[in-house]
Amino acid sequence: MKTQPKSALIIGSGIAGLATSIRLQSAGIQTTVFEKNTYPGGKLTAFSEKGYRFDMGPSLFTMPHFIEELFTVAQKDITKYFEYHQKDTVCHYFFEDGTEFQAKADANEFAENAEAIFDVKKSDILNYFDSSKKKYDLTASLFLEKSLHRKSTYLSKDTIKAILSVGALDINTNLHQHNSKRFSDKRLVQFFDRFATYNGSDPYQTPGIMSMIPHLEQYFGTFFPKGGMHSITQSLYQLAQDIGVKFHFETEVDEIIVENGKATGIRTKGNVINADIVVTNSDVVPSYRGLLRTQKAPEKILRQPRSSSALIFYWGIKKEFPQLDLHNIFFSKDYKAEFHTIFQKENVIDDPTVYINITSKEEKADAPEGCENWFVMINTPSNKGQDWEEIIERSRQNIIRKLSDALGVNLADLIEFESILDPRSIEKKTNSYQGALYGAASNNKFAAFLRHPNFTNKIDNLYFCGGSVHPGGGIPLCLLSGKIVSELILKK
C-alpha cells in the first residue's frame, strides 16, 4: 500500500524551490526550505541605492498563468498578493544602420509595422508566428510539462503526434539557418535569431525548433508586475509562508544524507535533519560536487558545455529618454562574430548587443524625478577564469560609446550611480556553476534529452528542480520544473 510522504526538505529558495514548496505544502506534505542567503528568490531579487531600485536578475515576465496556478493550488486569492499588467509594446529594437522597430504585442500590428520597416510581407510574419505556435503546441506537453525521463511520457497521443510531425520541428537545422530561409532581410533574421539568448544559446548552433520561443512573447504576451520583477519572489514567498512552509535563511546545507540508495535528509551546521523527501534547487553541478560528493555523479551530464552568462551594469541615469521603453535592444553589427566570440573564444566582442531594462518607465518611484534606472546587460561566456576585470572595463567603455552614439548623448556624464554583476558574482551569489544563467547550453538537437532529469534512478526520494535541470532556465520553465517534481512525488 502506497503512503504519501509526510515531510520534504528543499535546498534553495529560487523560484523553482518556492514553486515546489507551495505545491508540496498544498498537498499536505510539511515542507521546509533551507537557503544560504539572507533572502529568497535566487537570481530573482532586487536592491536599492541612492533613490534607485533595481531588479537584479530576470527582467522579462511572460506566461503569468504559471504564477496564477500556484495561487489556485494553494487556494488563495492572487489579487491579495500579486498584480501585473500587459505591455502593448514588447520591446524597442535599435539596429546598427539606424533602423528602429517597436515590436507590438498584437500580432497583426507587429506584422504591419514589420512590413513597413523591413523587406517582408505581413503574411510572411504571420506565417512565421503560426509555425512557431505549431512547434510549441506539438512539443510543450512532451518537452516542457512532463519528465522526459519517464516511460509514461512517451506512451501518449501527444508524443506520437510530435514524432509524426518531426519534419515540421526543424531539429536538423540551426535557428539561424531556419530564419534565413524564412526571411531575406538580414535585420529581421537577426531579430528572430535573438530568441536563442532566451535559453543562453547560440543561434548558429541551437536547433531550429527554438523558433517556437517567439510564440511565448507574441501569443502569451509580456507583462510588468506591480513593484517590479522582485514582486514575483515576494508574493510567492509570502504565499508559501501563509500556507505553512517553513524557511531557514543563512543556513547552508553541507550534505544530502543517502542511506541504502535512499535520500533520508540533510546535514546543516553539524545537525542532521531527516525527511521523507529531499529536493535540491541548487545547480545540478554543485549539487553533485558538494551535496552528493560521496555518491557517483553523472559525469557526462555534468561535463556539458554551459549556457551563456551575463555582465550587468546597474546605472542610475540622471536624464529621461522618451524614445526608450521598458525593454530595449541595441543590436551588434556582426551577430555571428558576437556569438562566435562568446561560445568559441570564450570572450566578449567589442561591439556587443546591449539590452536595457528600465522599470522606472512603469514604476516612477524606481528612480528619482527626472532620472531612470538602467539595467544594462550583455551576453558573455560562463566563468572559466577569464580576466574579468579587463573584460568589464573594456565592455563598459564599448557599451557607453555604442549607446552614446545611438542616443546622441555623452552617456558617461549621466551615470550617477553604478553597480556591477558579472559571471563570478553570479556564481557566488546563486551557486550557478560557472555563472551560467541557464545551466547547460542548448546548442545541439539532443540538448533537451541531455539535461539532468528531475529525479535520479540512483537515489530514491531525491529530486531536482531549477534552471539547470529539465525543462530548463527562465521563470516559466523553472516554475514548470517545480510542477514536474511535485507531480513525480505525488504520483509515486
Residue with cell 534529452: 449
User: Does any domain span residue 428?
Assistant: no
User: Does any domain span residue 288?
Assistant: yes
Q: Considering its fold, how many domains does the chain have in total?
A: 2
Residues 291 and 231 in one domain: yes
Residues 202 and 236 in one domain: no
Q: How far apart are CA 282 and CA 303, in angstroms?
A: 17
Residues 212 and 145 in one domain: yes
> Which of 164, 195, 220 represents a domain boundary (last residue)?
220
Say which CATH number the domain at 37 has: 3.50.50.60
- Between the CA of residue 16 and those of 63, 128, 216, 467, 485, what are the distances in Å? 15, 31, 19, 8, 10
Residues 487 and 460 in one domain: yes
- Between the CA of residue 222 and those of 32, 106, 365, 406, 442, what are the distances in Å? 32, 11, 21, 25, 23
User: Does any domain span residue 249?
Assistant: yes
Residues 213 and 119 in one domain: yes
What pLDDT score does 116 carry? Answer: 98
Residues 262 and 171 in one domain: no
> Which of 220, 250, 278 represents a domain boundary (last residue)?
220
Q: Note down pLDDT in tens along the chain; length 492 residues.
A: 467 889 999 999 999 999 999 999 999 999 999 999 999 999 999 999 999 999 999 999 999 999 999 999 999 999 999 999 999 999 999 999 999 999 999 999 999 999 999 999 999 999 999 999 998 888 877 666 666 555 554 445 555 454 444 455 778 899 999 999 999 999 999 999 999 999 999 999 999 989 999 998 888 999 999 999 999 999 999 999 999 999 999 999 999 999 999 999 999 999 999 999 999 999 999 999 999 999 999 999 999 999 999 999 999 999 999 999 999 999 999 999 999 999 999 999 999 999 999 999 999 999 999 999 999 999 999 999 999 999 999 999 999 999 999 999 999 999 999 999 999 999 999 999 999 999 999 887 776 667 899 999 999 999 999 999 999 999 999 999 999 999 999 997
- Helices 475-491, 15-26: axis angle to 10 degrees equals 30
Residues 216 and 151 in one domain: yes
> 356: burial class by Cβ within 10 Å (0-12, 13-18, 19+)?
buried
Residues 126 and 215 in one domain: yes
Residue-wise DSSP of 239-306: HHHHTT-EEE-S--EEEEEEETTEEEEEEETTEEEE-SEEEE-S-HHHIIIIITTTSPP-HHHHTSPB
Say which CATH number the domain at 123 has: 1.10.405
User: Does any domain span residue 401?
Assistant: no
User: Does any domain span residue 408?
Assistant: no
> Which of 194, 220, 246 represents a domain boundary (last residue)?
220
User: Does any domain span residue 194?
Assistant: yes
List the domain range (segments joined by +) for residue 200: 115-220
CB 379 within 8 A of CB 331: no
Provide the edge-to-edge strand list for the sheet that holds 84-86.
61-62, 222-225, 84-86
User: Does any domain span residue 422?
Assistant: no
Residues 230 and 162 in one domain: no
User: Does any domain span residue 134?
Assistant: yes
Q: Of the candidates 30, 10, 28, which has an alpha carbon nearest to the alpha carbon of residue 20?
A: 10
Residues 260 and 193 in one domain: no
CB 44 within 8 A of CB 229: yes
In DSSP terms, 415 is beta-bridged to 317
Residues 128 and 196 in one domain: yes
Residues 460 and 479 in one domain: yes
